[in-house]
């Protein structure tokens, strides 16, 4: 198991590599970290219109969430921070629950930007580790936002950013399958990666600062890697399951089959890979 080094953050010491602070994923959203604006609602660079107002309200709510926590995100507080009247929130989002859904979607979009900006290591196993570290890093850098995004399981998961993020995760898993390093079927591998990263962050945030041991995050990551990958593709899984996973990984790239044929073959390969 790799030795963890400590680095101090507002959330306590965490291992180097999952400690937060990558550009674009830490702190409050741009435009939402400062103080409250006046009642005119005019921020530099934002003009009138429905979409700029909607964005301003989302950023104001995200900023309140980051600075003061979930309890601070009230209709009156968000309206004051965004420089709008309270009825404007209901015109744009129907209710506060709709606004919180939009804030979660905003969070998934920020996380997606970080994923897309992160270069992929050549080794697919290291790529898996890097993706897991990035997910944990985002959560530790944005605790209140992360708790809302992932502590309430269905919030924001219909957004395009969430779906694209899951496709990036599946791409990492298919890289493993293509070189014979995937131990389990793709859907199970994705669930294991997602569940361990989410569990690591939420568990870490629930602990008192003096009880946060960086070894917890390292151990959870390595347990995930062990569960998802094989050490040697030539020895660990030479049978039909391994071959099915490898073929399933490259199936989306083929053009010889119709969409219906590709879907049917994918179902068969999923069964064989279990």
* Bridge-based pairing state of the strands 14-15 and 6-7: antiparallel
Structural contact between residues 228 and 38, judged by C-beta atoms closer than 8 angstroms: no
Mean pLDDT of the chain: 79
Q: Which of 32-41, 86-95, 194-203 has the lowest mean pLDDT?
A: 32-41
On whether residue 126 sits in a domain, the answer given is: yes
Alpha-carbon 27 to chain mean position: 15
On whether residue 2 sits in a domain, the answer given is: no
pLDDT tier at 140 (50, 70, 90 boundaries)? very high
What is the average per-residue pLDDT within 36-61? 63
- What is the tally of structural domains in the chain? 1
Give the helix/strand (H/E) hosting 14: strand 14-15
Whether the pLDDT of residue 239 is over 60: the answer is yes
Whether the pLDDT of residue 40 is over 70: the answer is no
Residue 250: predicted pLDDT: 66
Structural contact between residues 184 and 227, judged by C-beta atoms closer than 8 angstroms: yes
Residue closest to 200 by CA, chosen among 175, 225, 182:
225
Q: Which two tokens stand for residue 28?
A: 């409050």
On whether residue 7 sits in a domain, the answer given is: no
pLDDT tier at 261 (50, 70, 90 boundaries)? confident
On whether residue 264 sits in a domain, the answer given is: no
The CATH number of whichever domain residue 222 belongs to comes to 1.10.357.10
Residue 47: predicted pLDDT: 40
On whether residue 130 sits in a domain, the answer given is: yes
On whether residue 271 sits in a domain, the answer given is: no
On whether residue 254 sits in a domain, the answer given is: no
Residue 175 DSSP SS3: helix
Residue 210: predicted pLDDT: 93
Whether the pLDDT of residue 11 is over 80: the answer is no
pTM of the model as a whole: 0.67
Q: pLDDT per residue over 14-29, tens digit each?
A: 454 454 444 444 444 4
What is the average per-residue pLDDT within 104-131? 91
Q: What percent of the chain has pLDDT over 90?
A: 51
What is the average per-residue pLDDT within 75-93? 93
On whether residue 206 sits in a domain, the answer given is: yes
Instruction: Print the domain residue range for 84.
Output: 19-238
């Amino acid at each position: 198991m790799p030795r963890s080094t400590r680095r101090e953050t507002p959330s306590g010491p965490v291992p180097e590599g999952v400690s937060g602070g990558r550009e674009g994923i830490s702190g409050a959203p741009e435009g939402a970290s400062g103080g409250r604006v006046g009642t005119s609602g005019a921020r530099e660079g934002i003009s009138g219109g429905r979409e700029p107002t909607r964005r301003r309200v989302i950023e104001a709510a995200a900023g309140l969430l980051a600075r003061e926590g979930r309890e601070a995100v009230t209709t009156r507080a968000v309206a004051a921070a965004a420089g709008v009247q309270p009825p404007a929130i209901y015109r744009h989002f129907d209710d506060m629950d709709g606004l919180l859904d939009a804030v979660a979607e905003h969070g998934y979009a920020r996380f997606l930007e970080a994923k897309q900006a992160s270069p992929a290591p050549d080794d697919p196993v290291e790529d898996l580790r890097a993706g897991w570290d990035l997910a944990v890093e985002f959560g530790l850098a944005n605790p209140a936002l992360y708790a809302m995004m992932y502590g309430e399981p269905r919030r924001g998961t219909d957004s395009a950013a969430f779906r694209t993020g899951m496709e990036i995760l599946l791409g990492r898993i298919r890289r493993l399958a293509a070189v014979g390093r995937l131990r389990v079927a793709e859907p199970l591998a994705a669930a294991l990666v997602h569940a361990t990263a989410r569990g690591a962050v939420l568990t870490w945030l629930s602990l008192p600062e003096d009880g946060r041991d960086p070894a917890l995050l390292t151990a959870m990551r390595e347990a995930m890697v062990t569960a998802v990958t094989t050490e040697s593709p030539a020895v660990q899984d030479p049978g039909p399951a391994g071959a099915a996973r490898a073929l399933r990984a490259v199936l989306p790239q083929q053009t010889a089959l119709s969409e219906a044929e590709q879907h049917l073959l994918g179902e068969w390969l999923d069964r064989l890979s279990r």
